[in-house]
Amino acid sequence: MKIEIFENEAAVAGRAASIIAEAAREDAATRGRFAFAVSGGRTPWAMLGLLAAKQVPWASVHVFQVDERVAPSGDPDRNLTHLDASFLDHAPLQREQVHPMPVEISDLATAAESYSAALRELCGTPPVLDLVHLGLGPDGHTASLVPSDPVLEVADRFVSVTGVYQGHRRMTLTYPALDHARRVLWVVTGEDKAQALAGLSSGDRSIPAGRVRQEEAWVIADRGAASRLPGEAKP
């Protein structure tokens, strides 16, 4: 796991946007496609806004979601609502290049399998995303892989549905989907994430984030989030 520390959220967002843009250019040139999945959060929305303005081979890009709350279209709690406003309304992407999680379907198990099928159709079986962007919660959750939820033990599906967490059920990529990604980009800001980031960096499997494969993983964090890292990793 590679860790880079920056002064503030804006610098983290800028660096993360540059990493994604560089990966997109590289993969479009070598494989003809760049498929990546994004999580929610304040710093990621800034990151994606910056990404939309970069030189990227947009015709080769496909965008998936890491997770989504089960809520109506346009709901402010939906990641897609903010993804549209910060990124999709500004990047030159066609509808068929954007793959929202179908959380408005009443049969959520069927909806999850449908999303898994979309991943497999574009990215193979098992689906290999070129990059997955992940956040980190103060409780150590990532994606919607939350403490004590049965979704943590799902090993035979790439997409699943959680129980209620902070007021919503959620659809999420599972560990098998995350662990097949070519790159994992963690974007972590805020002192309230410091303990969780220390656990992630040490591979603490007692937190959900610590169970994500660390090979080809890159952490971009601010000073607050990095404040409890071991001495050699501190800024």
pLDDT tens digit sequence for 192-220: 999 999 999 999 999 999 999 999 899 99
Dihedral sign for Cα atoms in the order 76, 143, 36, 52:
positive
**Cβ neighbours of 167 (radius 10 Å):** 8
Q: What is the pLDDT of residue 72?
A: 94
Q: What is the pLDDT of residue 230?
A: 83
Q: Looking at residues 28-39, what average pLDDT do you find?
A: 97
φ/ψ (deg, to 5) at 219:
-105, 125
Q: What is the pLDDT of residue 53?
A: 95
Q: For residue 208, give the amino acid letter.
A: P
Tokens of 229: 């890292």
pTM of the model: 0.95
25 pLDDT above the threshold of 60: yes
Tokens of 157: 């599906």
Q: What is the pLDDT of residue 232?
A: 46
Distance separating the N- and C-terminal Cα atoms of the chain: 16
In the structure, what pLDDT confidence band is assigned to residue 41 with cuts at 50, 70 and 90? confident
In the structure, what pLDDT confidence band is assigned to residue 233 with cuts at 50, 70 and 90? low
Q: Convert the pLDDT of each residue in 126-154 to its tens digit.
A: 999 999 999 999 999 999 999 999 999 99
H or E segment and range at residue 65: strand 61-65
79 pLDDT above the threshold of 60: yes
Q: Convert the pLDDT of each residue in 82-120 to its tens digit.
A: 999 999 999 999 999 999 999 999 999 999 999 999 999
- State the chain's mean pLDDT as an integer: 95
Q: Which residue segments constitute the domains of the chain, with CATH numbers given?
A: 2-229 (3.40.50.1360)
φ/ψ (deg, to 5) at 69:
-75, 145
CA–CA separation, 122 vs 99, rounded Å?
11
- pLDDT above 90: percentage of residues in the chain: 94
